[in-house]
Structure 1
Amino acid sequence: MTEKKQALSPVAKRRTKLVYEAFQEEPDDRDILFQSGVLCHTFFPRREPELALNEVWRTDSGKMHLYVMPMPIIDPTTNELRYLGLPYGAKARIILANLNTIALKTQNPVIEMPADNLTNFTTFMGFSEGGSQVATIRDQISRMSSCVIRMAYDTGIKQKNVNLPLVSGFDLFPEGPAGQRALWPSQIILSDHYFHNLIDHAVPLAKSHMLALSGNVTALDVYSFLAHRLHRIPRGKPQFLAWSTLYEQFGKDYARIADFRLNFGRTLKLVKSLYTDAHFEEKGGKGLLLHFSQPPVTKKLMISGLDSK
């Protein structure tokens, strides 16, 4: 008796379609987004963290540590302090990559946000239209604007700490009917430190890949990590990452490393279906061996992406 195939859910069908379409595209047709190298090794929360209002969120990647601190704003509608929360999830990552790309293309840390037609801006970012999408994007950009991040690096002798605010300033105004107002930045000014770090260490990513992986936040993080890491590995000198190291970096949501390993293997297959040049292999259940690989976006395409208007 042949086994009856289980029908895919609507969400799974859409995700499969996105992966297929991204894989079918020729590289020259791909839009390019840029992510900060810092946020290709350490990441925003994958889901909204259960923290106290002013509690700091932390994640680690080897000797690197990322702290994300929510800062209060004065609500212009009430004149009281208000915490907007921390950026999280797939949309936060894709939105920030879009903002990075706008800043790099214009060579200007000042980004004017559309006050009159956020729906078009939502479509520009690659998200589907809809009130819920607009509300989510407004919320995530407001959270990014009002938080501060700090990087710490253990040198073995001391720990080096660097404040790296994404945004040095933003104009905030209430948007929406009275009584149901949301807060929305009309202008975002990337901090000098972040903007210059972005210029020096921007990691090019294929927009079609990021949108295809948008249903799996861990896959987005793994894709960004591999895009940043693999082409820097010397040819013929692969680098080994133990499961304990990978668990520390990507397994924050798993109570058991065994559960993480099972799901991480599936995530790697999903990422590999798009980033086909990525070369890695599992070594005897001990960890992952990373080999030199071409990046998902070539240098030629990266330059042409920056030159395009």
Structure 2
Amino acid sequence: MGLHLEAGTLWDGTKDIRPGMPYGTRPRLLLLHLIRTYLHTHHRTIDLSMTLRHFMTQTLSIDASGGERGGGTSFNEQLRALAACRLWIGYAAASATSRVQSADGWVSVFEDFAVETKKSDPRTPWRKTITLSREFVATLRESAVPLDIRALRGIQDSALSLDVYAWLAHRLHRLEHSVVLHWASLRGQFAHEYDDKKAFKRNFKKSMHDVLTVYPQASVRPVFGGYLLLPSPAPVGVLEKDEAFAAMR
């Protein structure tokens, strides 16, 4: 599976703005929040003015204040960048989800991002909504795996750890037999922000250690030249799903 991003523009009510490319932990947490919200509500259009602040303060314990250094400012900047970009998720091989893929094997994630241009009450924040594409939510219905919000809290400050956790959550419970992933393969998938092979290996080992701490069901072992992955339970079991979704609200 792969990602393709292109920076885009947004209309702020008076002019076009270019937020740039999303980067770091915030866009990853936002995308996970959108996915979790859809899985709970089954509504493609998500009202961020109602859910995002709660997600930041109650779920992640992140300061949601404004100002130059406020957590809310950082999240809103990355929200605009994420909403403006053209983001596709691609699949390397045909599978049960192939019937909802576009012709070139890539699925667009976002359909629309809207902000109210007038405030009826100055004490009320502008309403922001984002709409997930029909193709993307079809893939979520087919293959999404609920993530443990407690695990996300533990690794929310590391973009690489978030990527590794999401990857293992989706990969391990679908394995039918063990598989060894060598460092060359791991670098091809995760080393887009690393030029130095040694630095990537060092940081990946740390992230894997942190992820396995919050995802103890994962059966992953270091071996010569890489990691051995074994079939493992998903992070959130069937009986725990309602609890996980409740933690998101």
Offset from partner CA, 1:74-126 (integer Å, 9 cap, x none) = 3423x3x32222222212122222222222222111212327x9754531442
Residues 67-146 of structure 1 correspond to what in structure 2 (within 5 A)? 67-77=4-14, 79=15, 81-114=16-49, 119-120=53-54, 122-129=56-63, 130-131=65-66, 132-146=70-84
Match of 1:297 among 204, 214, 236: 236
**What secondary structure does 1:248 align onto?**
helix
RMSD: 2.9
Q: What is the distance in 1 between the residues matched to 2:4 and 2:204?
A: 24
Name the count of aligned residue pairs: 231
Which structure: greater strand fraction?
A: 1
Distance in 2, matches of 1:250 and 1:214, equals 17
Based on CA coordinates, which of the two structures has the bigger radius of gyration? Answer: 1
Q: Secondary structure at the residue paired with 1:252? A: helix
Alpha-carbon distance change, 175 to 163 in structure 1, aligned in 2, over 3 angstroms:
farther
Percent same amino acid among aligned pairs? 26
Once the 2 structures are TM-superposed, how far is the Cα of residue 303 of structure 1 from its aligned partner? 5.0
What is aligned with 1:11? Answer: none
Q: Alpha carbons of 1:185 and 1:162: their partners in 2 closer, same or farther (altered >3 Å)?
A: farther
Task: Render the CA deviation track for 1:49-73: whole Å, top value 9, x for unaligned.
Answer: xxxxxxxxxxxxxxx4321112222
Aligned to 2:173: 231
Q: Aligned equivalents of 1:109 and 1:213: distance in 2?
A: 27
**CA deviation digits over 1:117-165, x for unaligned, max 9?**
975453144232232111122222222222222344556xxxx624433
Q: Distance in 2 between matches of 1:103 and 1:197?
A: 12
Structure with greater helix percent: 2
What residue number does 1:168 align with? Answer: 111
Counterpart for residue 58 of structure 1 = none
Instruction: Report Cα offsets for 1:158-180 as digits up to 9, x if no partner.
Output: xx62443322122224699xxxx
Gaps of 5+ in 2: 94-102, 120-124
Supply the distance in 1 between the matched residues of 2:89 and 2:129 (Cα, whole angstroms).
Answer: 25
SS in structure 2 opposite 1:292?
A: coil
Whole-angstrom CA distance in 2 between matches of 1:122 and 1:193:
27
In structure 1, stretches of 5+ residues that fail to align are 1-63, 177-182
Equivalent of 1:267 in 190, 194, 207: 207
| SS of 1:267 mapped into structure 2 | helix
Write out the 4+ residue segments of structure 1 that deviate beyond 4 Å after TM superposition: 117-121, 152-155, 173-176, 303-309
Q: How far did 1:207 drift?
A: 0.7
Q: Secondary structure at the match of 1:203?
A: coil
State the shift of 1:294 in Å. Answer: 1.6
Q: Distance in 2 between matches of 1:267 and 1:229?
A: 17
SS at match of 2:214: coil
Q: Give the secondary structure class of the aligned counterpart of 1:273.
A: helix
